[in-house]
Amino acid sequence: MERQPAPTRPPRRRARTGLVSSIVMVLLVGVLSGCGVRLETPPPTEPVPDALEQVRRTAVADALGVAELATTAQRADGLAEPVIAELARVAADAHAHADALGGEYDSGLGLVDPDLDLPPSPSAVPAADPADVVSALSDAAGRSRTAASTTSSGDLARLIASVGAAQSVSAARLATLADVPAPPAVVPQMPVPGAASEEPAPTASPTDVATTSPGGEVPVLPSGLTASDFRALVLAEDGARYALEVRAARTSGDERARLLALSRVHGDRAQAWAELGSVAGTAQDPRRVAYVLPRDVDDAALVRTVQTGLATDYATLVGTTAPSTRALVVELLVEAAHTLDAWGAAPATFPGLPEQAAG
């Protein structure tokens, strides 16, 4: 019988190849896991900004938008040198505002929040003129006042209130120099003594972002003022009244009329604070018969000294009073900044914030 050849074994190359592939995949997954990479990880997204971050970003965007317009407007035809110089100052102040507010947010992801209105790039900014800058400053100042009045952070409110005061002053200055319509003045209205406590304070959702300009609100007594705050305000305003009255008695003509008009404003305000703080006519009323006055200063310098102190006082109270009730102290800061400008003070980048000026 013829011998048959032994049967051959089936090839195992396929199985061996499959085993090698499995080992490679296991090793690859192990390496990727060790590097912190997960194949199923979704692409990164920008974090959702909270209410405070939205307020901050809006203020930064406003400042950078003003800077861009002011820089572009300097190239407009036929501008006088004082207007060009003022536009350059406005642009520099706006950049300082943006820096103090923390600058543009950058997560490092290279993504852009689609809900945030950022200023256009320089190449996209159309031709502008001083009237455009005045309008942008006025709009930004209104949003700053509202944000400062309502945001939950006292420190951020104080900074934004100062920025808004500077923007308001710049709008008025540029409008005068360029002979274009000026925005309406901010006129603080004191609450009516005895009725302020009956007036409900406006409320705001913690997720709301205030972006509309103030106007037409019923005056509300700031919540959070202490008895010491009331006495300090009465003393500061009455001291201003006295200093201006004494100086007015030593001059004449239009200067005398200006000093007397300003002294009456501060006298009325001192009385209102005394009544609102329930110290008028009591042993706790801090008003004095006379105050020590600075010597060897002219009328304008005296007014500037008085207003600088008031601006600092009101900026401080912006940071310590409650959200949605601080509109009055915000507006009093703005008014003090305008009075400083009217009496010859150099424009302050951060009115009421001496630490910024010192830095």
What are the tens digits of pLDDT across the range 87-127?
999 999 999 999 999 998 766 555 555 555 555 554 455 68
CB of 161 closer than 8 Å to CB of 148: yes
Considering the entire predicted model, what is its pTM?
A: 0.80
Report the alpha-carbon distance of residue 58 to residue 157 in Å, rounded: 13
Please report where in the chains the tokens 């507006």 appear, as a residue. 331
Q: According to the model, what pLDDT value does residue 161 have?
A: 98
CB of 98 closer than 8 Å to CB of 67: yes
Q: Which fold has domain 49-184?
A: Ferritin (1.20.1260)
Q: According to the model, what pLDDT value does residue 296 have?
A: 83
CB of 63 closer than 8 Å to CB of 95: yes
Q: Is residue 175 left, alpha or beta, with left meaning phi > 0 and alpha meaning psi from -120 to 50?
A: alpha
Structure tokens at 234: 């009465």
Q: According to the model, what pLDDT value does residue 44 have?
A: 66
Report the alpha-carbon distance of residue 355 to residue 359 in Å, rounded: 6
Return the ∠ at Cα 173 (arms to 103 and 140), rounded to 5°: 35
First-to-final CA distance of the chain: 112
What does each C-alpha distance from 157 to 61, 278, 354 come to in angstroms?
16, 27, 16
Report the alpha-carbon distance of residue 272 to residue 291 in Å, rounded: 20
Q: Which of 336, 5, 4 is nearest to 164 (CA)?
A: 336
Buried b or exposed e, range 247-264, using 16+ CB within 10 angstroms = bbeeeeeeeeebbeebbe
Q: According to the model, what pLDDT value does residue 218 have?
A: 78
Q: According to the model, what pLDDT value does residue 201 have?
A: 44
Q: According to the model, what pLDDT value does residue 294 have?
A: 86
Question: Residue 301: is it exposed, middle or buried by C-beta count within 10 angstroms (0-12/13-18/19+)?
Answer: middle
Q: pLDDT by residue for the chain (359 residues), tens digit each?
A: 445 555 544 444 444 445 445 544 544 444 445 555 555 666 666 667 789 999 999 999 999 999 999 999 999 999 999 999 999 999 999 999 999 999 987 665 555 555 555 555 544 556 899 999 999 999 999 999 999 999 999 999 999 999 999 999 999 999 999 999 999 999 999 998 766 444 444 444 333 333 333 445 678 999 999 999 999 999 999 999 999 999 999 999 999 999 999 999 999 999 999 999 999 999 999 999 999 998 889 999 999 999 999 999 999 999 999 999 999 999 999 999 999 999 999 999 999 999 997 65
Q: According to the model, what pLDDT value does residue 125 have?
A: 57
Report the alpha-carbon distance of residue 88 to residue 79 in Å, rounded: 12
Q: According to the model, what pLDDT value does residue 192 have?
A: 86
* DSSP sequence for 71-105: HHHTTSTT--HHHHHHHHHHHHHHHHHHHHTT-S-
Domain spanning 189-195+219-346, CATH class = mainly alpha
Could you state, in order of their start, the residue ranges of all structural domains in the chain?
49-184, 189-195+219-346
CB of 179 closer than 8 Å to CB of 82: no
CB of 180 closer than 8 Å to CB of 134: yes
Q: According to the model, what pLDDT value does residue 105 have?
A: 78
Say which residues have a Cβ less than 8 Å from residue 330's Cβ, sequence separation at least 6.
145, 148, 149, 157, 161, 164, 314, 318
Q: According to the model, what pLDDT value does residue 214 have?
A: 45
